[in-house]
Structure 1
Amino acid sequence: MVRLETLRGYLLEEVLAWLLRSSGYRLLTEKDDPARPPWNVLEKRKHGLVVRGRGAWHQADTLGEFQFVPPFSLPIRLFAEAKFTRLKVGLPTVRNGHGVVHDLNENVVTTLSNGSGPHRPRTRYHYSYAIFSTSGFTQDAQEFALAHQISLIDLSLPDFRPLRDLVRVAAKSVYDAVKSMPPSQRPTVYEIRNYLRRHLLNLWEEPVTDALSVTDPLDTLAAGLRRRSSLGLVLAFPTAPFVLGLVSTDLHAFVRHAREQPTHPVRVHRIHRSAGHPVWLIEPRAGSAYRLTFSLPEQVEAWILDQEEGTRSRTHWTTRNLLSAITLYWVDDSHTHTFQLHYSSEEFREFGGRPISDFGEASDVL
């Protein structure tokens, strides 16, 4: 029987797949592979989707494809792995992610042929890997991820608490229900995930168990997410070798503002907390129409701040260089919007020790 914290991670991955649709990522199934065996790269097996690399097939429970292809590049596919644990995510998890994407990106067969007919081009992809953690990452995991461009996204921010609570309660209810069932009647993890995926993404493959004691908490989780539709996660892409996971209690307020001003200047606050590492806050420079927050793993933050002497000058360097242009994609009604948030170094301002009422801590404001 699956462990409780593992089940929490699996359910969180399904929730993230639902949330990341708004960032332009579409969850893939084996039906999205136009090639037939033996040339296919996606395949459904007993435990779910697998994807072909150069040396092996790899489990791909949550594999998304970005809707647009960057200029002079390959279509982008993203592995999303979620860890909902008490302990920080360690080096083995990050190293595994690197091994997977390295093997996939080395799968360099460029043409297809049935042996008698002409060769035809084979579609290739660029695979990336993102690990989401509710408890942070160890130092060696962060250093390895930074060196190999594995994205680490911290879900421990206060704004993520409602989302964490929804997943935690649902996982505990499902776990207790499954535990009380005879082993022969227990649904598999794949069936549980597939049932939730049906409700969130309208991807329905096979029937799941009819045991209401198992499906009820999954229905409650899906309904809770829809009621909190303004609470979401959006991926943001700065001019740096990592991505940002931005969150807001009213993400739609940001979208409304950004649709009116797709490119606009912002202020950045680095908020010092008495417990935990700092949180970064993004607001429009004119007014207070929205608030976006994100957190960086400690070693990643130390790396980007360790560029100049002095905390304030390092913070200034960070925003002037790495956060000077942040690109976001937002999908609604099958239409994709592109937004850019700009920090202008000419307008640099800094205030130490200014209280932020929402956090009760001091901040550097840029």
Structure 2
Amino acid sequence: MLQSSGYRLLTNSSQDEIELVNGSNGLRVRGRGAEHQADVLGELAYVPPFSLPLRMFVEAKCYRSTPVGLKEVRNAHGVIHDVNQNWAASHRTGRPRQRYHYLYSLFSTSGFTAAAQEYAQAHQLVLVDLSAPAFARLRRRLTSASSEMLEAASSDNLAEFPLTAVRAVIRSRLGTASFARDQGPQLPLAVNLHNTIEELVSFVIEDWRAKMLLGFPAAPIVLAMFVPAIDAAIAALSENPVQHVRLRHVGATDTAGTWVASSQDGRVEFRFTLPDRIESWIMADPDEYRARRAAFKNAFLSDITIVYSDEGDVRIFKLVYDASDWHQS
């Protein structure tokens, strides 16, 4: 998702020996008081005007049913504050040194508590909720793959699960490691476990890797957007980078389900969800529901920026919502 949204992945300290450190469990970033592990670290391929170069921490949580709570979000705030303070604590030599502004995004397959959402918004942390119906197939496949890997390791009579090796092989196959996909580590994995990993990787590459993009609305949230027909959508956006779209709810009721942004000809379609606290406010008063939904769409979803990168070619698209375009809404 980060690669498709204009970020290059940082996976090895050789990419920045001043701020990055190779740790036993993966890449670490130096902070003012400690080093901090990053599940994923990305650097935006271009520098926004009047800004430092941007780097994005990604923390991934995959709990069975419990929403991510305040503890995890507080930890994210502490990490990003410490990392952004590292430059201020460095010894000055007069030698020019690159400086970055670090951001933090927390992904969860089980959503977030109300307290976590409030805290994240107050401290400008990005929460990406993958508990929506649009991501159900992805969640099911990841859950089944985890169980299959444990069973495969057991059937291969492994004394303990080879987590480090499995992680390295998956990243090699996906091309997200510091080495090329066909030059990955030749780690000895048992046959059953190796086959299970290959099935998971094939699913991610063929079904999901190119279908998830990030959307940036005029609101303190980031939208994880599922794109059912990515090739058609990108082709249409390339022809017309500013697409006027309709915004609507789809689901069991008028006030539940996924949001859909779609163009009139149907070539462009993005599916996403809003944070629970926003949905709760919209739905709190049945008499005011339609007015609140319209007000939120006009104020916060009227202009959604999509950054798309393909082999280093970074393009910026916009999804524009104007109620006057859709008299039937």
CA RMSD of aligned residues (A): 2.6
Q: Secondary structure at the match of 2:87?
A: coil
Q: Which residue identity is paired with 1:199?
A: R
Per the alignment, residue 127 of structure 2 pairs with 152
Q: CA 1:324–1:305 in structure 2 vs 1: closer, same or farther (change >3 Å)?
A: farther
Deviation string for 1:78-112 (max 9, x for gaps)? 11222222211111111111111111112234877
Q: Residue 22 of structure 1 aligns to a residue in which SS? A: coil
Does the 8 Å CA contact 2:262/2:268 hold for their aligned counterparts? Answer: yes
Aligned: 1:209 with 2:184: no
Tell me which residue corresponds to 1:54: 32
Give 2:10's aligned residue. 28
> Structure 1 residue 279 and structure 2 residue 258: aligned?
yes
Q: CA deviation at 1:157?
A: 2.3
Match of 2:226 among 241, 247, 270: 247
Q: Is the 8 A contact 1:51 1:60 kept in 2?
A: yes
Secondary structure of 2:99's aligned partner: coil
**Structure 2 SS opposite 1:20:** coil
Partners in 1 of 2:238 and 2:222 — Cα distance?
22
Q: CA deviation at 1:275?
A: 11
Q: Call closer, same or farther: CA 1:275–1:304 in 2, change over 3 Å.
A: closer
Counterpart Cα distance in 1 of 2:185 and 2:23: 13
Q: CA 1:110/1:75 → structure 2, altered by over 3 Å: closer, same or farther?
A: farther
Q: 2-side partners of 1:336 and 1:110: how far apart?
A: 34
My pick for the range that moved more, 296-305 or 21-30, is 296-305
Deviation at 1:327, TM superposition (A): 0.6
One of 320, 328, 334 as aligned partner of 2:312:
334
Following the alignment from structure 2 to structure 1, what is the Cα–Cα distance between the partners of residues 41 and 256? 30
Shift, 1:269, TM fit: 0.6
1:143 to 110, 118, 130: 118
Distance apart, 1:168 and its partner CA: 1.8
User: What letter matches 2:173 in structure 1?
Assistant: H
* TM-fit CA distance, 1:223: 1.2
Aligned partner of 2:267 in structure 1 is 289
Q: What is the correspondence of 1:164-203 to structure 2 with a 5 Å cutoff?
A: 164-179=139-154, 186-187=161-162, 189-201=163-175, 203=177
CA distance, structure 2, for counterparts of residue 170 and residue 272 of structure 1: 28
Q: Cα distance 1:276–1:47, how it changes in 2: closer, same or farther (>3 A)?
A: farther
Counterpart of 1:197 in structure 2: which amino acid?
R
| Cα distance change, pair 112–257 in 1 and its aligned pair in 2 (3 A) | farther
Equivalence for 2:74? 95
| 8 Å CA contact 1:111, 1:119 repeated in 2 | no
| Unaligned 5+ runs, structure 1 | 1-18, 352-364
Q: For the residues of structure 2 that align with 1:89 and 1:229, how far apart are their CA atoms?
A: 23
- CA offset digits 1:119-165 (Å, max 9, x no partner): 22221111111122222111111111121122222212222222223
How much has 1:50 moved relative to structure 2?
0.5
| Structure 2 stretches lacking a partner, 5+ long | none
Instruction: Please name the residue that 1:122 is paired with.
Output: 97
| TM-score, structure 2 normalization | 0.88
Q: Distance in 2 between matches of 1:257 and 1:230?
A: 20
Taking structure 1 as reference, are residues 348 and 217 closer, same or farther at Cα in structure 2, changes over 3 Å only?
same
Identity of aligned residues (%): 37
Q: In the alignment, does 2:52 pair up with 1:78?
A: no
> How far has the Cα of 1:53 moved from its partner?
1.0
Distance 2:161 2:245 in 1: 51
Q: How many residues align?
A: 321
Looking at structure 1, the residues matched to 111 and 208 of structure 2 have their Cα atoms a distance apart, in angstroms, of 25
